[in-house]
Structure 1
């Protein structure tokens, strides 16, 4: 949801902080609006695989039975939360890079970039977990609003908190989100830096790269993001969509085993096609 922020911030590095924040927020909202239909297909394939033969069948069934706007279910939550999520992610990433910097202007190694990215992802889970929970809950609802359990993200949050409390309701799947975000953003930021450095001519600085190359580097980083975490995203969606809270502190492992034993290894990659297309 937030992979676009570093690309936009790098392109607009000469601007002030609040301008970077506004630019990143609008870029993030544009990303959500454009990618939401594919994300809905991804989530539905992850949690209800037996209903569909594949991505195209999921798309056709959703549009036929619920109308084209059903592809945008759950969009309100990330659309509203994208600014705060991006701000926390970028602030955490910048701070974790500073901690590892010994001298001004030092270029961190890729493994240091990965550490900063993974740490930022873990911190970012505080906001991204409830945002994605509400999104998944809305996407998993079939039929019209008249028969839907949740009328919107606010109603969904209120019902979950009332029935299960904040920890088991609004923050259900938090540790699954943390488990996903750490490798995801370690892969994203190190992939982004790797691509930038490969595109940078000898004797030049990556900061001098044109926007087109930065966008290409960002696309490569997006692929790295999902390559590092996709099975964990499937687990997160499963956990967040189930009615009752997961049991035990090792539910990420037990959910993995459950999916693997009942559906096979390929179930952990279900929905990856629309995800790759979306990137």
Structure 2
């Protein structure tokens, strides 16, 4: 009897890649404006009094399109990022499955999510680096931005400058390890939170994989909130590391940067920007999971 059971987790990697690509584009399209506010609050806290002040100043000084700065990088790259993420997640679930119709316990879902997050960092780290660099610059001409007075024309121009000045590892892949450290607990919460609610709101003797879009949105939104609650302080560290002009020094820069932020601003620094982040995660993650699940259903016959 397969009620409340997961369908076979080995659905074919190409399906996960296609569904993950659509899910990623939906995520960026829905969440980019609030993500821009989040990043600006994290990397330049003295400029703004809070999320609303950041929103008003950004729109008044740079126009509403400024909220979409850096969108080109994730819109193009997030397809590959989410494709790799969901494909790896499906593969790690299948490795832990002893029967095709087995419903994995939530701790195994979390393990698969953590592993997928670690692998996903290979793509998400440079994509987010370019996004943050674009989001953190103001105006459209050269201005003083901390140690960096350069205005990048776009993500490709940004990547070229970083590689030319610092090389691949310290330029394009700056902040890779802090991304890994963030993604492991983040995606453990992301997938286990989604599955937890998905199963809870499934009717008796129903199948969680047959939920309508509205309920998928609810479960996905919970997964998105869970992601940020599991890793937000590390995201603050990542944003600061990736936005600074010079690459971090030492093998343990995650811990030294964390200590530096705490010493300078206190514990409240690690919640800076969390309000727009949580608000953004509700529709963005809801859209991500809903589009992914619906796309997989459409691809199931193939």
Normalised by the size of structure 1, how large is the TM-score? 0.90
Residue 168 of structure 2 corresponds to which residue in structure 1?
A: 166
Residue 117 of structure 2 corresponds to which residue in structure 1?
A: 121
Relative contact order, CA 8 A, sep 6+: which one is greater?
A: 2
Superposed CA deviations along residues 35-63 of structure 1, whole A, max 9, x for unmatched, are: 21111110000000011101111111112
Q: Where in structure 2 are the equivalents of 1:249-260 lying within 5 Å? A: 249-260=251-262
User: Which residue of 90, 94, 105 corresponds with 1:94?
Assistant: 90
Structure 2 gap ranges (5+): 1-5, 144-149, 282-302
Determine if the alignment matches structure 1 residue 76 to structure 2 residue 72.
yes
Superposed CA deviations along residues 203-246 of structure 1, whole A, max 9, x for unmatched, are: 33212322221111111111101110111110000000001110
Counterpart-to-counterpart distance in 2, 1:72 and 1:132: 14
Counterpart-to-counterpart distance in 2, 1:30 and 1:106: 30
Counterpart-to-counterpart distance in 1, 2:39 and 2:82: 22
Q: 1:89 to 1:197 in 2, by over 3 A?
A: same
Counterpart-to-counterpart distance in 2, 1:169 and 1:21: 27
Q: 1:146 to 1:255 in 2, by over 3 A?
A: closer
Determine if the alignment matches structure 1 residue 42 to structure 2 residue 57.
no
Counterpart-to-counterpart distance in 2, 1:124 and 1:24: 12
* Cα pair 2:23 2:79 within 8 Å, conserved: no
Q: Where in structure 2 are the equivalents of 1:3-152 lying within 5 Å? A: 21-145=17-141, 148-152=150-154
Superposed CA deviations along residues 246-278 of structure 1, whole A, max 9, x for unmatched, are: 011111111111111110101101001111111
Residue 209 of structure 2 corresponds to which residue in structure 1?
A: 207
Residue 246 of structure 1 corresponds to which residue in structure 2?
A: 248
Q: CA RMSD in A?
A: 1.9
Superposed CA deviations along residues 169-222 of structure 1, whole A, max 9, x for unmatched, are: 000000010011111100010011111111123333212322221111111111
Counterpart-to-counterpart distance in 2, 1:137 and 1:104: 44
Which moves more between the two structures, 34-43 or 204-213?
204-213
Residue 270 of structure 1 corresponds to which residue in structure 2?
A: 272
Q: 1:250 to 1:16 in 2, by over 3 A?
A: closer
Quote the offset at 1:92 in angstroms.
0.6
Counterpart-to-counterpart distance in 2, 1:182 and 1:24: 19
* Cα pair 2:113 2:187 within 8 Å, conserved: yes
Counterpart-to-counterpart distance in 1, 2:273 and 2:237: 12
Normalised by the size of structure 2, how large is the TM-score? 0.84
Query: Secondary structure, in 3 states, of the residue corresponding to 1:35?
Result: helix
Residue 176 of structure 1 corresponds to which residue in structure 2?
A: 178
Structure 1 gap ranges (5+): 1-9
